[in-house]
């Protein structure tokens, strides 16, 4: 992964996918000063490193940013004690450079005649490999007790049949989100609608959809989570927690331990305040 990130062109491709996920090769080519073949080669390296995930939509091949590998590196080498300092310094750098970055973007737009991406994606794809069995992974997704250990203490309730309701709630019983089971194929596929309830802002986003796909790979499983049918310019709160949740799921199943993340720390602080 580090070799893939070392190249500035590949980092630019990831920046483009961060700004607008789910782009075709042609769309990415128009954003970079290189040939179609050159862009294709860089995308292949990123895909092999697990940083880009592709999906077919009709005749088009769409490319999605997969932040999970970067999240795992962060969780391994940036401890909860270093997190506040790292976040503060990163924010300082961004604030100092922001005026210059805006000026550069304006200049690039004037020179190229191309408008920077402004529309937000309506689909997010996350992929992670976990050393476990499909049955054990399915249990971790659907079991309330296990779910709380990697999902910021949030539990889940459903009878896991098509048409049934699915509810997620905090330890204090506060509703986090609700939805309906759309498809169930234990232990390989689960699809449900998703309506966030934890704030007035996310309530206005309406309903979206979450698909869990489990694929056995030797002694491991590839888990792909697709959060789609999102509204244009949807709030990042809806999908921003997936990298931390899936990293915590991997740690729990492979080590039996819980993973400390910014999300879990915020949840613990909120629980202490409520108590």
In tens, the pLDDT along 98-121 reads 554 444 444 443 433 333 333 345
> 61 pairs with which residues across the strands?
56
Going by their DSSP bridges, the two strands 60-65 and 123-130 should be labelled as unpaired
Alpha-carbon distances of 166 from 163, 181, 184, rounded to whole Å? 9, 7, 12
Give ∠ CA 174-163-53 in degrees, rounded to 5.
80
Tell me if 151 sits within 8 A of 157, measured CB to CB: no
Within a 10 A sphere around the Cβ of 39, how many other Cβ atoms?
19
Q: Which residue did the predictor score with more confidence, 71 or 201?
A: 201
Higher pLDDT, 139 or 55: 139
Residue listed under structure tokens 């309701």: 165
Domain boundaries, the chain: 2-66, 69-112, 123-274
In the chain, what percentage of residues exceed pLDDT 90? 45
Six token digits for residue 185: 């194929």
Q: Predicted confidence band at 269 (pLDDT cuts at 50, 70, 90)?
A: low
Please name every residue paired with 213 in a beta bridge, in sequence order, or none if there are none: 189, 224
- Distance of alpha carbon 83 from alpha carbon 233, whole angstroms: 28
Query: What pLDDT does 110 receive?
Result: 42
Which pLDDT band holds residue 180 (cuts at 50, 70, 90)?
A: very high
What's the pLDDT at 103? Answer: 46
CA distance 54 to 32: 19
Query: Which CATH entry fits the domain spanning 123-274: 3.20.20.140, 3.30.530.20, 3.30.1490.110, 1.10.1740.10?
Result: 3.30.530.20
Query: Distance between CA 84 and CA 61 in Å, rounded?
Result: 39
As a residue count, the chain comes to: 275
Domain 2-66 matching CATH 1.10.10.10: the answer reads yes
Q: Which residue has the tokens 């970055």?
A: 101
């Amino acid at each position: 992964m580090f070799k893939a990130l070392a190249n500035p062109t590949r980092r630019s491709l990831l920046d483009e996918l961060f700004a607008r996920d789910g782009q075709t090769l042609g769309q990415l080519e128009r954003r970079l000063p290189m040939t179609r073949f050159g862009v294709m080669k860089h995308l292949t390296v990123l895909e092999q490193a697990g940083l880009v995930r592709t999906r077919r939509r009709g005749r088009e091949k769409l490319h999605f940013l997969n932040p999970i590998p970067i999240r795992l590196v962060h969780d391994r080498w940036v401890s909860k004690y270093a997190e506040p300092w790292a976040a503060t310094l990163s924010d300082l750098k961004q604030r100092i450079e922001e005026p210059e970055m805006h000026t550069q973007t304006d200049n690039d737009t004037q020179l190229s005649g191309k408008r920077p991406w402004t529309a937000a994606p309506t689909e997010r794809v996350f992929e992670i490999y976990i050393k476990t069995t499909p049955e054990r992974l399915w249990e971790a997704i659907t079991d309330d007790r296990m779910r709380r250990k990697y999902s910021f203490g949030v539990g889940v309730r459903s009878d896991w049949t098509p048409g049934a309701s699915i509810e997620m709630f905090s330890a204090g019983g506060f509703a986090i989100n609700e939805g309906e089971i759309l498809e169930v194929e234990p232990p390989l596929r689960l699809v449900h609608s998703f309506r966030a309830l934890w704030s007035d802002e996310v309530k206005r986003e309406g309903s979206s959809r979450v698909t869990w796909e489990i694929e056995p790979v030797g002694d491991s499983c590839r888990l792909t989570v697709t959060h789609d049918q999102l509204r244009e310019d949807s709030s990042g709160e809806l999908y921003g927690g997936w990298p931390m949740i899936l990293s915590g799921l991997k740690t729990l199943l492979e080590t039996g331990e819980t993973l400390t993340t910014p999300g879990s720390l915020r949840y613990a602080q909120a629980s202490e305040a409520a108590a």
